[in-house]
Chain A
């Protein structure tokens, strides 16, 4: 372990904006994809259910 304090960890040896800019955006994009996937599946399931209720397969 090379960090003397929490502040030292977050300052990343002076490269904070680059390291956290890279990791932060990656995290946001990946979590975002998971959210989008969940919504898409819920919507697809809802539409399929509605179609099934409306008289089953055409």
Chain B
């Protein structure tokens, strides 16, 4: 199978159309399972009571906000280096969903901070760097939108995205590098997680649900971008008979 075939918008458009429903179904099924575990199986926390249940959306959203940024910058860089249209379109398609995940991480963090820390917001390293991530996403979209010629917009936005990558390890390691109000990582690759198994399970299932959601959203958006940007191509005209 020649995978490079799918690097053209024309062949990718119908492929994405077939994949999207699969990812939506996975997202919904996993979210229902994750919420069930989170609300009905996981016990009440002995310190934070039921306020801790915000973790089941806060951590998945925060993980996705960083992960989507890396994937977005990767696609943008690929589009810059190989001059492939679809790569740049993928980067543009990921940005709004990444921004949404960042906003959700900040919003739910605020609603968790109020009952546990006594404040909605604090300018500590973790929160500030996550807010900068939101500005990077918004900056990427604004810069792209401000340049009329799409390929030039792709290139300018790609540079912004690549430079912004430096912020992701800053977010991730901020709780280690600085003395933050935000707690350290509960889950890491190098040691056993510091939380109950059912809590961890609920969080991981929700994280995969958010992942599937993000893939479905990005694929859906890239299809719209393909239609908007390739509307003068012959294949778009031929598309009309089928769907």
Q: Which of A1, A13, A14 has the most CB of B within 10 A?
A: A13
Contact with A along B228-243 (1 / 0, CB 8 A): 1001111011011000
Q: Is the interface of A mostly helix, strand, loop or mixed?
A: helix
Return B112 CB to nearest CB of chain A, in Å: 7
For the complex, give the distance between the alpha carbons of A45 and B225 in Å. 11
A33 x B53 contact (CB < 8 A): no
Q: Which of B40, B108, B213, B231 has a CB less than 8 Å from the CB of A51?
A: B231
B57 x A29 contact (CB < 8 A): no
Q: Which of B53, B111, B220, B237 has the most CB of A within 10 A?
A: B111
Tell me the chain B residues, 93-120 only, with Cβ under 8 Å from chain A.
96-97, 100, 103-104, 107-108, 111-112, 114-115
Q: Which residues of B contact A37 (CB under 8 A)?
A: 217, 220-221, 224
18 contacts between A and B (CB under 8 A): A1-B40, A12-B53, A13-B44, A13-B50, A14-B50, A15-B50, A18-B111, A18-B112, A19-B51, A22-B111, A37-B220, A37-B224, A44-B223, A44-B227, A47-B227, A48-B239, A52-B237, A58-B232
Closest residue of chain B to A17 (Cβ to Cβ) is B111
Q: How large is the interface on B (under 10, 10 to 19, 20 to 34, 35 or more residues)?
A: 35 or more
Chain A CB within 8 A of B58 CB:
yes
B107 x A25 contact (CB < 8 A): yes
Q: A13-B44, A37-B221 given as contacts; is B53 within 8 A of A19 (CB)?
A: yes
Tell me the chain A residues, 3-26 only, with Cβ under 8 Å from chain B.
3, 9, 12-15, 18-19, 21-23, 25-26
B217 x A15 contact (CB < 8 A): no
